[in-house]
Structure 1
Amino acid sequence: MKQKPIRCPYCGSTAILKDASYVYGSKSKGGKVYVCSRYPECNSYVGVHPGTNIAKGTLADKQLRFKRIQAHQTFDQIWKNHILSKSDAYRWIADKFCLTAKEAHIGEFDLYMCEQLISESMKILRNNHIPLRAAG
């Protein structure tokens, strides 16, 4: 089954699969990325799962990439501090926000959902007396 073309949510252009060095240059750790065909004018891209051509989420601009990193830094403390297992933590996201398991991934989130996840994750961390670390 052929993969449907990935479209940039910002400009509508088609995304192209490139070596990660196309975006990260010498700082690249290998791998691939889907990049808006208008990159760098349209600064939208997303990483690819290692060894596949499967995107880790939706294309994101600089602001959304930064917010997703912040969301991960906060949320990941839930399972890294053993409040929930990693799989249970992702199940909690799905239940909390009425999402399917496929939708319950930060790489699929927009700015609003990232903010909501950060807020709800911080509540869990506070309730479990986990010191909050500055995100980003």
Structure 2
Amino acid sequence: MKKTTIRCPYCGARATLRPSSVVYGERAKPGGYLYICDRYPKCDAYVGAHQRTKLPMGTLANGDLRHKRIEAHKTFDQMWKSGLMTKWQAYRWMQGKFALNEDQAHIAKFSEYMCDQLIAACNQVYENLDMAA
């Protein structure tokens, strides 16, 4: 397991890999982990960790940013869940639309601004489909 040091972008404290039950209690997925700001719960920043590698899935986020990322994921995931394109094609579309490389094209790394841009771009695709129908 690769050791990684993460600093909270909100308060500057370190973030530590901890079981997700620290945040989610009984609702936590078994075996799930999060990087949680050491000042939690005063500082509400955390991010999920990959099951296998325990590396962070993205950047630490507070409640507002987590909500925006969830919203962006719901809108973006419709692109491939609806059958409009495959999941791979949807991520390639995102990369091209925003000039991102493969490492950057993860909603868990997006700012609120980038989430808003992705939501708007996806909605534009859906509107164009409606017009063509």
TM category, shorter: over 0.9
Structure 1 position 62, deviation (Å): 0.1
Structure 1 position 41, deviation (Å): 0.5
Moved segments of 4+, more than 4 Å: none
TM-score normalised to structure 1 length: 0.90
**Counterpart in the other structure of 2:117:** 116
Rounded Cα–Cα distance in structure 1 between residues aligned with 2:29 and 2:3: 25
Q: Work out whether 1:29 is the aligned partner of 2:29.
A: yes
* CA displacement, residues 26-78 of structure 1 (integer Å, 9 cap, x when unaligned): 11112100000000000000011112211111000000000000000001000
Rounded Cα–Cα distance in structure 2 between residues aligned with 1:122 and 1:94: 17
The answer to whether the 8 A contact 1:83-1:128 is kept is no
Between the two proteins, the alignment pairs up a number of residues equal to 130
Give the share of equivalent positions with the same residue, in percent: 50
Opposite residue 103 of structure 1, the aligned amino acid is Q
Rounded Cα–Cα distance in structure 1 between residues aligned with 2:2 and 2:18: 18
Any stretches of 5+ residues in structure 2 without a counterpart? none
The answer to whether the 8 A contact 2:4-2:55 is kept is no
Rounded Cα–Cα distance in structure 2 between residues aligned with 1:43 and 1:2: 25
Q: Work out whether 1:18 is the aligned partner of 2:38.
A: no
CA RMSD of aligned residues (A): 1.5
TM-score normalised to structure 2 length: 0.92
Any stretches of 5+ residues in structure 1 without a counterpart? 130-136
Residue range with higher mean Cα deviation, 58-67 or 2-11: 2-11
Rounded Cα–Cα distance in structure 1 between residues aligned with 2:102 and 2:84: 20
